[in-house]
Amino acid sequence: MNANTPPLQALIFDVDGTLADTERDGHRCAFNLAFAEHGLDWFWDELTYGDLLAVTGGKERLRHYAERYAPQIAARPDFAELVKTLHATKTAHYVRLARSSRIPLRPGVARLIFEARRQGVRLAIATTTTPDNIFPLLRSTLSADAPEWFEVIGAGDIVPAKKPAPDIYEWVLDRLGLPAEACLAIEDSENGLCAALGAGLRCLVTVNDYTRGQDFSGAWRVVDDLGRVSLGELLAPEMVDV
């Protein structure tokens, strides 16, 4: 970074693991409820799910799991349909969990969002998760109108390739009409960092229990959470030169 770097104009937030710890007690539980509802004896415990998170996208994760651990299911002629049905059921369970505000925002997230709004820093979301999952989380943790605070929400199947591909960040940058240099991505995982870097973005990583120990080479900064990160630091030119 150098003195010519344009001032920060937008924060682009990842969702799962970054805005909130949604994976262990949200998505994982929703998947298990969907398996039970469809009579499958599958159960993803915390450890198994942590391994499966290497595959981004719930439908892709389901396909990967069946091909690896239940090949007889993966070989079924209606497997593609089964994945879609399972994932739709899972999403319905996840939305209900997210609505129940049982999944709080991570430390510092709300404060940083409010600071950005006060200072006119634009907000966007770039996530692999299904769009339906985002609104209830934002509404239950921030405000009924919180989805409108994010000018651009790039999510799920809107792009052909999910993280670690850069597609979702490129899609969001294009709709923001901003160069990558004027934005900062905030992520939690190696896959997310890879996607952000691939789109030419600086990336602040907030580690969580599922991503601790992953390779965050190339990250602009790595912190445990946003609890002690102020917008001022992110806007400060000396920080830009890190």
128 binds ligand XBP (CB under 6 A): yes
* Residue closer to ligand XBP, measured from CB, 139 or 239: 139
User: Least CB distance from residue 17 to ligand XBP, whole Å?
Assistant: 5
* Residue closer to ligand XBP, measured from CB, 83 or 234: 83
Element (DSSP H or E) covering residue 176: helix 167-176
- 185 contacts 215 by C-beta, under 8 angstroms: no
> Strand ranges (DSSP E) for the chain?
10-13, 122-127, 152-155, 183-187, 202-206, 221-223
The 37-76 contact track toward ligand XBP, x by CB under 6 A, reads -------------------xxx------------------
Of 15, 124, 196, 229, which lies in the binding site for ligand XBP, with binding defined by CB under 6 A?
A: 15
Backbone CA torsion sign across 108, 110, 116, 118: negative
The 185-204 contact track toward Mg ion, x by CB under 5 A, reads ---xx--x------------
- Cα 86 from chain centroid (whole Å): 21
Tokens 């996607």 sit on residue = 195
Active-site residue, 21 included: no
Contact positions with Mg ion (CB under 5 A) in 8-37: 14, 16-17
Backbone CA torsion sign across 83, 89, 92, 94: negative
**Size, binding site for ligand XBP by CB under 6 A:** 16
Round to whole Å and give the CA distance between 152 and 223.
25
Q: Which residue is nearest to ligand XBP (CB)?
A: 58
Of 10, 17, 95, 103, which lies in the binding site for ligand XBP, with binding defined by CB under 6 A?
A: 17
- Cα 131 from chain centroid (whole Å): 11
- Nearest CA-CA partner of 127 in 65, 58, 63, 176: 58
User: Least CB distance from residue 191 to Mg ion, whole Å?
Assistant: 8
Active-site residue, 51 included: no
Strand partners, 205: 187, 222
- 203 contacts 160 by C-beta, under 8 angstroms: no
Of 8, 10, 12, 16, which lies in the binding site for ligand XBP, with binding defined by CB under 6 A?
A: 16
State the residues that interact with Mg ion by CB under 5 A: 14, 16-17, 188-189, 192
State the residues that interact with ligand XBP by CB under 6 A: 14-17, 23, 27, 56-58, 127-130, 133, 163, 192
Active site residues: 14, 16
